[in-house]
Amino acid sequence: MSCRLEAITREEHLRFVATRPSVSHMQVPSWGDVKPDWQAESLGWFDQDDRLVGAGLVLLRPLPRLKRALAYLPEGPVIDWDAADLEGWLRPMLAYLKRRGAFSVRMGPPVVTRRWSAEAVKAAISDPGARRLGDVRATTQEPGAAEIAGRLRRMGWQQADAGGEDGFAAGQPRYVCQVTLAGRSLEQIEGGFNQQWRRNIKKAEKAGVKVVQGGYEDLPDFHRLYVETAERDRFVPRPLPYFQRMWTALTAEDPDRMRLYLAHHDGEVLAAATMLTVGEHVWYSYGASTSRRREVQPNNALQWRMMCDAHELGASVYDFRGITDTVQEDNHLLGLLRFKVGAGGEAVEYLGEWEYPLNKVLHKAVSLYLSRR
């Protein structure tokens, strides 16, 4: 099938998203408002009957002093990735973006390749011969993923360099942890937690930890904890205005698109987190906590409340977002993997991000520059 591609309105884009059970929060129009350094545009794929059959949010980052831009579709586009004629979907996108001045296109196909159950991840961590998740047999392998990767390579797409460490990509995470909510009661979901998680939830309840839903005015409290977390875990924090802009943009599109939760104990906020929702998919987005009074287990209480609310919203999956694919005991990110998988989640590997150089010379020069920064 050969599709026609053109720019669409925000309203058309949102109507299409509403027809899909799961679309990334980075593929809705409001995400472009969160990224003011990028020029955002909604793209639509139309079939021969002029029906909108695919959509994508593309972010264009202009190069200084050049009429050229990097085009990026994070965790998208939302098209039929299983289509026999995948080129018929992607060729019009490349042609359109080339006319828009793009020298390179980067995208993140929302295609799952492998899954490891919580038990499989636990076994991998205990296996002295395993260094990464890929060293152990996956619980589920998606047969079509390898074929899609092969098609992309034949079209000239290149798998993007992850650039990060331990499975954390320079773009979006290739490995995530997801808890299935669909078809399960809250009792069944809690029953899937490991013993440590269930014990910590009870500790938090006994200690009097109260988790409340906050608003825009509570973002400074969240951010103070977030900065403390960044210092402790050695990453560069985003400034408060980023989260304020994120809140304003996302909640204007849908009041439930972004929520803020805070865990209180004896009058002090000990942990906080943001939660994003699109359709039946809920993400734990940003988390923050203090080192004080960790014995009352505010983080477990916070996550459990968010999962309960996601379940009430009708979500089919609760997504903990990025995890490391390294399962060695001496890795500093292993604790985060254990925490997330302890909630009964499975490790999920996506196809990763892919690039298409429309101008090979400029693409190579910019890639070299970024690698040296």
Mean pLDDT of 177-182: 98
**What pLDDT sits at residue 372?**
63
**What pLDDT sits at residue 330?**
82
What are the C-alpha distances in Å from 107 to residues 89, 197, 230? 13, 36, 28
**What pLDDT sits at residue 165?**
44
**What pLDDT sits at residue 35?**
94
pLDDT at 170 over 60: no
Cβ atoms of 106 and 354 closer than 8 Å: yes
| 67-112: pLDDT as tens digits | 899 999 999 999 999 988 999 999 999 999 999 999 999 999 999 9
**What pLDDT sits at residue 196?**
96
Q: How confident is the model at residue 367 (pLDDT cuts 50, 70, 90)?
A: confident
pLDDT at 172 over 70: yes
Task: Map residue 373 onto helix, strand or coil.
Answer: coil
Q: How confident is the model at residue 2 (pLDDT cuts 50, 70, 90)?
A: confident
Q: How confident is the model at residue 370 (pLDDT cuts 50, 70, 90)?
A: low
Buried b (16+ CB within 10 A) or exposed e, 256-279: ebbbbbbbbbeeebbbbbbbbbbb
Q: How confident is the model at residue 168 (pLDDT cuts 50, 70, 90)?
A: very low
Mean pLDDT of 232-255: 96
Contacts of 55 (CB under 8 A, 6+ apart): 8, 12, 13, 16, 17, 27, 42, 43, 44, 45, 77, 78
Q: How confident is the model at residue 118 (pLDDT cuts 50, 70, 90)?
A: very high
**What pLDDT sits at residue 371?**
63
**What pLDDT sits at residue 15?**
97
Q: How confident is the model at residue 293 (pLDDT cuts 50, 70, 90)?
A: confident
Residue 111, both tokens? 């295609």
